[in-house]
Structures are given as C-alpha cells and as structure tokens.
Amino acid sequence: MKTYEHVYDILSKSPDFVTGESLAKSLGVSRTAIWKAIQTLQEQGIGITSVRKKGYYLEKGDILLPQDISKQLNIPVYFNPDSNSTQLDAKHGMEKNNPTPALYLASSQKAAKGRFERHFFASPQGGIYMSIHLKPNCHFEELPPYTMMVAAAIVKAIQRLTGINTEIKWVNDIYLNKKKMAGILTEAISSIESGRITDVIIGVGLNFSISDFPEELANKATSLFTSEKPSITRNQLISEIWKLFLTIPTSDLVKVYKEKSLVLDKQVTFEQAGRTYTGVAKAIRANFSFLLMMVGKNGWPLVKWALLLGRLVGCTRNAWNNIGCPKTTKQ
C-alpha cells in the first residue's frame, strides 16, 4: 500500500483526530510525507479536517483499496486511476491473458457506455465502477443468468450492510425510491470453432455517495447515500457484492431477483416479432422469459411464456445486451 492509503486506513478507523506526529511514527515516514499524503487524499475528494495541535480527522469520503478487496475475494483486482471504461480494462486484461476471475476497478470513467452504446454518467467522485471477467467456456444455453445474479447480489449486499431496500427493474437496473441507482452491462465472447461462450465481462456502475447530478438526470437518478455520511465504505460494498455473486448458489440469487423485481405482478408492454404485447408479468425464468397473463380476442384470459428480446415499454429488438443478456462477439 502507498503512504496515502495507509494514512487513509488509519484515519478511517479513528473516532477522533490523529496527529501528524503519530501518523509519521506509525508508518515510519517523515512529517512531510504525511502532509503530502493528506494533500493526495484531499485531491481525491476526501474530506479531512486539519486542526493545529490536534491533527487530522476524516470527515467524509473514501478511497478504493484494491489490495484489501483482493484479499477479501481471493481473486486479482486491477485498479486503473485513469480509466476510460472498466469494460475496456477487462478486455485489455483478457488480451494479456490475465487470470480469471478478475475484477477491474476505477474511481471514475472517461468514456463510460451503457446499453445501446449510450453515454453513461460517471461522477468524478463517489461512484463505483467495476467489471468482472469470467471464463465460463460453455454453450449459450448452458450460460448462467449472470445479469440476474449480479443484480441480486447488489440488492442483497446493500440490504445486508445498510438495511436499505433497493429493487430491480427489468433486467439490469437497480432502483432506490423509484430512481435509478445502478446499472449492469453484460458482454460475452464466443468461439467460432467451438461455438462456446469463452469469456463474459459484467460491468457495474453504481452511484454510491453522489449529491450532484446533471440537470437532465436530477429527477431520474439517485445515490445510495446523498447528503448523509455513508455508513459503509465503497470497499466494503464492492467486496460484499462479489462475495455473494461468487459463493451463493445460482438458484438462491435468482430467488432474490424475483423477490426484488419491480416487474412481476405489473403490467408490461413489449414488442416481439413485429407484434405488440401487453399483459401482467406473473413469473420469470432464468432465461429472461416472463409468464404473461393477457386477454385474448374472445375476452378470456390468455397465458403465454414470452422471451423478451427487447426493452419493456416501447422496446426495440437489438443486441442481447439491451436487456442485460450477453452481447456476443465471435472470434
């Protein structure tokens, strides 16, 4: 760990001021090195109060500690302080044959993309941006419902650590108080020779502690913590999300997904094969199909399993990743 990371670690665990002399002695460095570390932390948006003869006190904010997260998960964690996109970071890692599973982190992103290649808002401070690279090496029909699993892991981790209840909107958005708090993008790469899915990269963008959003998002987006001081750190939440994803049985995560779904028992409208369907979603399968209760031509109830290949309400049938399913790229 770097000096500023050690300083942050000490301050984050202290309920009171810590003197510069005490910090220097604990870390075996000079007072000048401590001052520089404090400056580095403040430049990263960490709120630190400095009082003469009392020392330093951490008011708010945190920094990402990839080494700590790696120890928690027992997988490699790569941190890029100058990331364009953690999805791209993961793809570069794949080209380098980095071990898998591996997690790629960034404190912000310069060219974040969501579904349909749309621009994705990435705050310079207070966000969580990460992608995990997996090697399932299986046929498409054998692929686990990764997007469902990650969505369930996110809401379960938040509930477990903070008691805050979040919900899942079809199929890859996490909502808090009817506003979007997080999004998931899943991409897959398949082999032409074997016809198998060789690699999967799952990206997550999560508003952790953000109080200011662009005007066009102010009424649509929210953050896990806004004006209040977070009760947990980003490192704790990141570790818990992927710990749940990597250890809990798939069936249990799918169960959580169903329990937290904003779509089940709601009226949905979608297009499929040129036709528009409207009905009440009564059940969901791991292959992203809904059991719809609709009204037939004669007025009698009509039940239909529908595999949704587009977005709910005015959907379009584009790439699989438009609903959080893997977008495949053949090699």
Predicted pLDDT of residue 211? 78
Q: Is 315 in contact with 306 (CB distance < 8 Å)?
A: no
Mean pLDDT is lowest, of 105-114, 138-147, 224-233, for 105-114
What is the band of 183 on the pLDDT scale with cuts at 50, 70, 90? very high
Residue 266's nearest CA partner among 277, 254, 285, 282 is 282
Residue position matching structure tokens 């509930």: 159
- What is the pLDDT averaged over residues 135-162? 93
* Confidence grade of residue 100 (pLDDT, cut at 50, 70, 90): very high
pLDDT category of residue 312 using cuts at 50, 70 and 90 = very low
State the pLDDT at residue 16.
94
Question: Are the beta carbons of 205 and 196 closer than 8 angstroms?
Answer: no
Residue-level pLDDT at 324: 35
For residue 34, the Cα-to-chain-centroid distance in whole angstroms is 33
- Note the pLDDT tens digit of each residue in 317-327: 222 333 333 33
The two three-digit tokens of residue 7, written as one number = 């300083």
Mean pLDDT along residues 66-75: 95
Q: How far apart are CA 237 and CA 181, in angstroms?
A: 14
- N- to C-terminal Cα distance for the chain? 38
**Residue 11 pLDDT class (50, 70, 90 cuts):** very high
pLDDT band at 113 (very low <50, low <70, confident <90, very high): low
* DSSP tag of 143: -
| 313 has pLDDT over 70 | no
Q: What pLDDT was estimated at residue 292?
A: 59
Mean pLDDT of 277-294: 65
From the CB of residue 230, how many other CB atoms can be counted at a distance below 10 Å? Answer: 19
Instruction: Please check whether residue 90 is in contact with residue 102, taking contact to mean a CB–CB distance below 8 angstroms.
Output: yes
User: How much is the pLDDT for 271?
Assistant: 67
Pairing type for strands 102-106 and 77-79 reads: parallel
Phi, psi values for residue 303, rounded to 5°: -110, 135
Using an 8 Å Cβ cutoff, are 172 and 321 in contact? Answer: no
pLDDT score of 123: 66
Mean pLDDT over 163-187 rounds to 91
- Taking 70 as the threshold, does the pLDDT of residue 51 lie above it? yes
pLDDT band at residue 306, thresholds of 50, 70 and 90? Answer: low
Structure tokens at 64: 């990402």
Residue 300, pLDDT above cutoff 50: no
Average per-residue pLDDT in the chain? 82
Record the pTM.
0.80
Output 106 or 300, whichever has higher pLDDT. 106
Residue closest to 217 by CA, chosen among 96, 127, 323: 127
Percentage of the chain modeled with pLDDT above 90: 51
* 112 pLDDT tier (thresholds 50, 70, 90): low
User: What SS3 class is residue 95?
Assistant: helix
pLDDT score of 328 more than 90: no
